[in-house]
Amino acid sequence: MSTLYLVFRKPGPAWVAGKGSRDQPLWEEHAAFMDDLFDRGHIVLAGPYADYRLVLVIINARNFEEASTILESDPWVEAGILLQNEVVEWNVFMDSRKHQ
């Protein structure tokens, strides 16, 4: 059984201020990493806040430990472009995707 987790990430010391996600260093490597997690069903939704202050990734994981570590090998984490800020288990009561 899996659970949804909200993973909040914040720009790290290597984040280039004034540039969007796709203009950051190692964008292609980061995108390939995230695409792989998406294809394997771990990422439900992901994206930055409009002001790039934070990034929210909704993770489908077996437990808190998996949700907390699944993004550690992201090239952006390894390069200090993004840092993990907080991981929160999410109890979903309403989900419109179930009606589709």
Give the pLDDT confidence score for residue 100 in this predicted structure.
65
Percent of the chain whose pLDDT exceeds 90: 87
**Phi/psi of residue 13, each to 5°?**
-65, -20
Any alpha helices (H) in the chain, and if so which ranges?
27-39, 64-69, 75-78
Task: Say which DSSP state 97 is in.
Answer: G
| pLDDT tier, 24 (very low <50, low <70, confident <90, very high otherwise) | very high
pLDDT of residue 94: 86
Q: Is 16 in a helix, a strand, or coil?
A: coil
The whole-model pTM stands at 0.90
Q: Which amino acid is at 96?
A: S
User: Which carries the bigger pLDDT value, residue 98 or residue 24?
Assistant: 24
Give the right CATH number for 3-99 from 3.30.70.1060, 1.10.10.410, 3.40.50.2300, 3.40.50.300.
3.30.70.1060
Write down the pLDDT at residue 97. 74
Instruction: Check residue 84 and give its pLDDT.
Output: 87
